[in-house]
């Protein structure tokens, strides 16, 4: 069996090993805890990277909204003109013209909805890219604080504010990557059946 003297020596040795990490965490203003939390929404919204993406998305959304208003106005004018022409058209001619107009409206609506989906997809891709480049920073914070687990704050019922490292993470990420504009976008994966074929 381990003697009390030997046990005390082991505990003292462990304290000597762990002491530098504890001092480092205190110097950096980080708590010592095996579990830390971070708020991903704040992490993205408050970093320079996330704010740049939000500005770009807002500008693109404004352009799309203006385009939708313009198209709506043009279609309204076209619909009124078709209604006026109805007086001089046969029922068959009007039906064909009305069907063609309806087909045009459906096509344009589909195109504009696709553009809106692309905007949403771009935002999702930007968030995934952000979390990818932010991961090394979060891992460093975990190491410095002695954390073994980093949880999403939104999924935690109760916690002490001291274990939330979101503020520190925002500052570290900004220092590491700035607004992220210099980071190359991630190319989408190509499905096997979409692989370009070379001609012999």
The predicted model scores a pTM of: 0.68
pLDDT at 11 over 80: no
Domain count for the chain, please give it: 1
- Its domain, for residue 109, covers 24-181
Answer yes or no: is 10 within a domain. no
Q: Say if residues 49 and 179 touch (Cβ distance below 8 Å).
A: yes
Instruction: Give CA–CA dist 169/129, Å, rounded.
Output: 16
- Residues 20-37: what's their mean pLDDT? 62
Comparing CA positions, the residue from 69, 65, 161, 45 lying closest to residue 119 is 65
> What's the pLDDT tens digit per position in 64-118?
999 999 999 999 999 999 999 998 999 999 999 999 999 999 999 999 999 999 9
11 domain-assigned: no
Residue 29's pLDDT is 62
Is 5 inside a domain boundary? no
- In a 3-state reduction of DSSP, which class is residue 11? helix
Question: What average pLDDT does the segment 122-148 reach?
Answer: 92
Q: Is residue 118 part of a domain?
A: yes
Domain assignment present for residue 95? The answer is: yes
Domain with 144 in it: what CATH number?
Answer: 3.30.910.20
Half-sphere exposure of 156 (CA within 13 A, CB side): 17
Specify if 18 maps to a domain.
no
């Amino acid at each position: 069996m381990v003697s009390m003297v030997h046990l005390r020596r082991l505990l003292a040795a462990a304290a000597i090993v762990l002491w530098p990490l504890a001092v480092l965490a205190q110097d950096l203003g980080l708590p010592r805890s095996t579990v830390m939390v971070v708020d991903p929404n704040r992490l993205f919204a408050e970093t320079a990277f996330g704010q740049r993406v939000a500005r770009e998305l807002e500008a693109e959304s404004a352009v799309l909204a203006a385009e939708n208003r313009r198209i709506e106005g043009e279609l309204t004018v076209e619909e009124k003109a078709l209604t006026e022409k109805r007086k001089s058209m046969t029922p068959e001619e009007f039906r064909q013209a009305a069907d063609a107009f309806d087909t045009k409206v459906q096509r344009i609506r589909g195109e504009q909805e696709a553009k809106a989906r692309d905007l949403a997809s771009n935002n999702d891709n930007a968030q995934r890219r952000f979390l990818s480049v932010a991961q090394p920073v979060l891992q460093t914070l975990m190491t410095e604080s002695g954390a073994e687990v980093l949880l999403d704050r939104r999924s935690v019922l109760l916690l002490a504010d001291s274990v939330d490292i979101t503020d520190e993470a925002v500052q570290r990420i900004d220092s590491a990557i700035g607004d992220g504009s210099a980071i190359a976008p991630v190319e989408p994966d190509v499905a096997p059946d979409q692989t370009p074929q070379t001609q012999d």
